Amino acid sequence: MKPAFSLCVYCGSRTGDDPAFAALAEQVGTWIGSHGGQLVYGGGRNGLMGIVADATLASGGRVIGVIPKALVEKEWAHTGCTELHVVDTMHERKRIMADHADAFLALPGGIGTLEEFFEVWTWRQLGYHAKPVGLLNLDGYYDHLLAFLKASVHHGFMSDWQMALISVGDDPQRLLPLLVEVAGLASEAVRLDQI
């Protein structure tokens, strides 16, 4: 059966220093699975990545994991995924993840999470896709990043419309439905354009 939506989640391959991060990942995965959704993610079993995947599966959702060969052992590839794609490069990994997603969401994470988040946001502002991009800012984790981005707008290196392309929230119960709703509207607009 086709999932109701497909959400690509970027998050840490570590759990971080606060149990709230792991609880958030579990909450997001549970929400995806219990709402008939599909998780698309980096295919690892470690850290928040493994937690969100396990929670999605435990709640009845599908999980597509995409992991490069070089990271299969390092990130302990999650063999319990509904589909696990082992690919040659990081570029191939990110392309497949993006192709399978209706929307994108970044949870707390490190350099890899940030790189993937910025890439899909960049693609969005260039018009390569019309899928919503979200940032889940638990307990102010991304406050400093958001302050820097606002400074970039202030100094003329970004514009307000670029900032408006991301949805920022601290409550997954509000942000997740918003992303799914916007993804549905964007998908409908694409179908109408093809008529």
Answer whether residue 10 is part of any domain: yes
Answer whether residue 89 is part of any domain: yes
Percent of the chain with pLDDT strictly greater than 70: 94
Answer whether residue 45 is part of any domain: yes
Residue type, 164: A
Tell me: the pLDDT tens digits for 93-139? 999 999 999 999 999 999 999 999 999 999 999 999 999 999 999 99
Q: Which residues of the chain have pLDDT under 50?
A: 189-195
- pTM for the full model? 0.93
Dig out the tokens for 119 from the structure. 């890439």
User: Which runs of E-coded beta strand occur in 100-165?
Assistant: 103-106, 133-136
Answer whether residue 118 is part of any domain: yes
pLDDT given for residue 193 in this prediction: 43
pLDDT given for residue 2 in this prediction: 87
| Beta carbons of 101 and 179 less than 8 angstroms apart | no
Q: How many domains does the chain have?
A: 1
Answer whether residue 53 is part of any domain: yes
pLDDT given for residue 65 in this prediction: 98
Domain CATH for 67:
3.40.50.450
Domain residue limits at 118: 6-190
Answer whether residue 90 is part of any domain: yes
Answer whether residue 185 is part of any domain: yes
Answer whether residue 195 is part of any domain: no
d(CA 177, CA 122): 23
Sheet holding 83-87, edge to edge: 83-87, 62-68, 38-41, 6-10, 103-106, 133-136, 166-169
| Phi, psi of 3, deg, nearest 5 | -70, 155
